[in-house]
């Protein structure tokens, strides 16, 4: 054939054969080989073309190496140096090519690559005949005689090839793991074992650090120098749910995760209700012995907000502000958020209105003031939410407030409900700047509630700042059961504010009380002068909410006194002959939701004489003391050093009282869990 004819042929473009044509060609090649094999055995002579080997080559590399050694290297030793260099290059080229081919075959194998199998006895080569094309396999050890080859059925060539890459890999893995006899097979077993492990092993998700507000526990204060204690009330419950999630995962919570007042206020207490709506709560004060210190007393101050009957509830204008950034792409974040807000829809009246704003890299309005009666539209909008992108939280807050103000309901409830893990990383992300933004927005009459989701990068510090300055509540939802409690069972308290800017101030009589210690409320402390200043923001109380504050008091002449008496101040204060009677004075300030001037409640704190009124041993007081003890113990407070988790659990069990939904029983189990983990 001439060069022109070769060039002409090289320009012809052929179509790739289809699967059936490829299979027919494969069978034809096998038949030709079998005929040739029989001819070789009959004539016992070498064919004029091809190889004289009795079986098809399984390893091209092995055969090429044998040819090179016999045909090239042996005469090379007789060459001159110059010729030797040339020959070396010629020899190296096909070797490198074959090595590359075999490597590529391992990385990108063909569907009909040879399969290594084991035969007990026989020749060094074996054939497989199982309805699929015959594939010769290298034998790893002793071999068996090849079985008689059945006559090939031509009709079989019309069926698709059954031997797949998965079959090859499965067979190779099973047979090589049975008894690898070579270094190559052992390496293959290890490699495939590593691949299987990487598929089956659950890879941990990298966790970022969580952020909490750092604070020190309240210290013991001398009444002689500081007789007045002032703080803002707190109805947040996020801390308890957070530490429950940590304990359930087998970890003791970090110190700054634990805020004792939020743990105590997680539970409902049956304090007396007020008689009229103009006075939204009635203070209740009780004094009991301190469980962890026999030389001190616990004073519990409790208030219970009146509840609003369903038929009297005002219409609501709610804006769901939902974080759909990439950090929310976890099962306990966006999917749980969607299901939680679906539960909330069950509590809304048909005339309530719902808007939905989402934010990731930017904010977007999904729904604009849709009536709650159109639940199908609202649910569809929730279900279609997807997570991805950065977190421009400040932009979402701005848009949500604009939407709430546009659809404002006079005399109704106007509230933004933020659901997020608090991971703001675009726009304003500093907690102090966000606090100022929220503080400005609350003046419009739109309040903000914050609901946290997820673990790993949870920004607790930011959540607290937003809730405290948005006249709302901060809650954490880690399970659907917690969503049911927060958004359904306690929906009135979550939605309807009955009093805002609620402050408590206690003044103690230094003639009867030497020292006091407020348990918790470290981040809610106020200056004495802030109590009468209506411009100073404080906490809110929702319908049906109960709020509890606990003081540990040290009576005069008690051996538990820690502060050294003042040289001059003590001379002016004579210890009372009678430690009973009035020991302090309680004041509360609050504003009604639509008012800007505060109202005042006040009453004397009486320590009853023995026999007049027995110390309060009610279930609520005892149980709240157990919760307060647990929180202090988790924070490592030295006051609880000699009071064990077992004693805390016993105190809670003895004062469990009515436990309709099992929350108190769950608390007792958490105490047991913490006790086990602490050891």
- 197-211, 330-344, 596-610, 640-654: the lowest-pLDDT one: 197-211
- 88-102, 267-281, 516-530: the lowest-pLDDT one: 88-102
Are the C-beta atoms of 512 and 576 separated by less than 8 Å?
yes
Decide if domain 311-478 falls under CATH 3.10.520.10: no
Helices 645-654 and 619-634 sit at what angle, rounded to 10 degrees? 160
DSSP-derived secondary structure letter, 4: H
For residue 402 the two structure tokens come to 């604009």
For residue 348, give Cα distances in angstroms to 62, 372, 447: 78, 6, 18
Overall size of the chain counted in residues: 679
What DSSP assignment string belongs to 598-639? -EEEEEEEEEPPTTTS-----HHHHHHHHHHHHHHHHTT-GG
What is the mean pLDDT of the segment spanning 218-244? 94
Angle 588-594-597 from CA coordinates, rounded to 5° = 45
Residue partners of 566: CB distance under 8 A and separation at least 6: 222, 224, 225
In whole angstroms, give the CA distance from residue 553 to residue 508: 10
In whole angstroms, give the CA distance from residue 302 to residue 283: 6
Burial of residue 230 (number of CB atoms within 10 Å: 0-12, 13-18, 19+): buried
- pLDDT level of residue 222 (50, 70, 90 thresholds): very high
- 27-36, 110-119, 442-451, 468-477: the lowest-pLDDT one: 110-119
For residue 327 the two structure tokens come to 């950090």
Residues 133-190 have pLDDT tens digits of 333 333 333 334 444 444 444 444 343 333 333 443 444 444 434 444 444 444 433 4
Are the C-beta atoms of 593 and 497 separated by less than 8 Å?
yes
Residues 330-372 have pLDDT tens digits of 999 999 999 999 999 999 999 999 999 999 888 899 999 999 9
Q: Tell me, what's the pLDDT at 578?
A: 78
Share of the chain above pLDDT 70, in %: 66
For residue 59, give Cα distances in angstroms to 35, 109, 141, 164, 438: 22, 14, 17, 20, 74
| CA nearest neighbour of 442 among 593, 654, 598, 612 | 593
Residues 458-479 have pLDDT tens digits of 888 888 888 888 888 899 999 9
| CA nearest neighbour of 391 among 467, 333, 444, 308 | 333
For residue 265 the two structure tokens come to 């206020």
- pLDDT level of residue 383 (50, 70, 90 thresholds): very high
- pLDDT level of residue 570 (50, 70, 90 thresholds): low
* Domain residue extents for the chain: 59-113, 164-199, 221-239+249-308+497-561+578-678, 311-478
- Residue that the structure tokens 């729904």 belong to: 367
Q: Tell me, what's the pLDDT at 421?
A: 86
In whole angstroms, give the CA distance from residue 211 to residue 465: 12
Q: Tell me, what's the pLDDT at 504?
A: 97
Residues 71-102 have pLDDT tens digits of 544 444 445 444 444 444 444 445 444 544 44
In whole angstroms, give the CA distance from residue 396 to residue 420: 11
The H or E element that residue 419 is part of is strand 413-420
What is the mean pLDDT of the segment spanning 214-224? 93
CATH among 3.90.190.20, 2.60.40.1230, 2.60.120.380, 3.40.1190.20 for 221-239+249-308+497-561+578-678: 2.60.40.1230
């Amino acid at each position: 054939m001439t060069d022109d004819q070769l060039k002409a042929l090289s320009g012809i473009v052929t179509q790739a054969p289809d699967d059936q044509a490829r299979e027919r060609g494969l069978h034809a090649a096998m038949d030709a080989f079998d005929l040739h094999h029989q001819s070789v055995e009959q004539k016992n002579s070498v064919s004029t073309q091809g190889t004289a080997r009795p079986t098809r080559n399984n390893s091209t590399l092995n055969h090429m190496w044998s040819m090179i050694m016999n045909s090239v290297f042996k005469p090379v030793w007789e060459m001159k140096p110059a010729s030797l260099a040339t020959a070396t290059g010629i020899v190296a080229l096909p070797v490198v090519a074959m090595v590359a081919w075999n490597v590529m075959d391992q990385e990108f194998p063909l569907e009909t690559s040879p399969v290594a199998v084991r035969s007990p006895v026989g020749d060094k080569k074996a054939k497989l005949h199982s309805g699929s094309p015959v594939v010769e396999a290298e034998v790893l050890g002793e071999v068996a005689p090849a079985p008689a080859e059945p006559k090939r059925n031509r009709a079989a060539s019309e069926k698709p090839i059954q031997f797949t890459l998965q079959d090859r890999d499965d067979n190779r893995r099973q047979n090589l793991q049975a008894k690898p006899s070579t270094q190559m097979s052992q390496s293959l077993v290890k490699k495939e074992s590593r691949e299987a492990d990487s598929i089956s092993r659950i890879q941990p998700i990298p966790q970022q650090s969580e952020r909490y507000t750092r604070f020190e526990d309240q210290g013991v204060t001398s009444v002689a120098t500081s007789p007045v204690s002032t703080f803002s009330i707190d109805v947040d419950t996020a801390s308890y749910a957070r530490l429950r999630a940590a304990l359930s995962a087998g970890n003791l919570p970090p110190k700054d995760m634990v805020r004792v007042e939020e743990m105590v206020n997680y539970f409902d207490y049956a304090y007396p209700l007020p008689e009229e709506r103009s006075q939204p709560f009635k203070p209740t004060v009780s004094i009991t012995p301190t469980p962890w210190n026999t030389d001190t007393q616990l004073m519990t101050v409790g208030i219970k907000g009146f509840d609003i009957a369903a038929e009297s509830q005002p219409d609501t204008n709610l804006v769901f502000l939902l974080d759909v950034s990439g950090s929310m792409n976890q099962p306990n974040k966006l999917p749980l958020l969607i299901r939680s807000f679906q539960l909330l829809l069950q509590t809304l009246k048909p005339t309530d209105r719902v808007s939905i704003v989402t934010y990731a890299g930017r904010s977007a309005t999904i729904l604009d003031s849709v009536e709650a009666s159109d639940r199908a539209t609202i649910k569809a909008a929730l279900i279609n939410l997807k997570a991805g992108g950065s977190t421009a939280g400040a932009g979402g807050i701005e848009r949500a407030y604009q939407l709430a103000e546009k659809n404002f309901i006079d005399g109704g409830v106007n509230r933004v409900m933020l659901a997020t893990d608090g991971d703001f990383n675009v726009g304003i992300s500093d907690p102090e700047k966000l606090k100022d933004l929220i503080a400005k927005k609350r003046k419009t009459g739109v309040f903000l509630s914050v609901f946290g989701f997820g673990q790993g990068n949870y920004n607790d510090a930011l959540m607290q700042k937003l809730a405290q300055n948005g006249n709302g509540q901060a809650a954490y939802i880690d399970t659907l059961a917690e969503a049911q409690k927060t958004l359904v069972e306690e929906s009135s308290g979550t939605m309807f504010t009955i009093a805002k800017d609620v402050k408590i101030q206690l003044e103690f009589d230094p003639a009867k009380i030497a020292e006091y210690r407020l348990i918790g409320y470290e981040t809610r402390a106020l200056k004495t002068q802030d109590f009468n200043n209506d411009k100073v923001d404080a906490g809110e109380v929702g319908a049906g909410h109960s709020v509890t504050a606990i003081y540990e008091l040290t009576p005069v002449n008690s051996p538990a006194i820690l502060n050294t008496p003042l040289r001059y101040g003590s001379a002016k204060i004579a210890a009372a002959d009678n430690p009973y009677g009035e020991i302090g004075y309680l004041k509360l300030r609050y504003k009604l939701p639509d008012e800007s001037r505060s109202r005042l409640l006040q009453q004397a704190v009486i320590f009853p004489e023995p026999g007049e009124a027995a110390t309060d041993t009610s279930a609520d007081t005892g149980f709240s003391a157990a919760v307060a003890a647990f929180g202090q113990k988790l924070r490592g407070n030295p006051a609880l050093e000699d009071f064990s988790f077992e004693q805390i659990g016993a105190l809670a069990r003895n004062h469990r009282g009515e436990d309709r939904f099992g929350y108190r029983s769950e608390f007792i189990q958490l105490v047991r869990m913490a006790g086990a983990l602490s050891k």
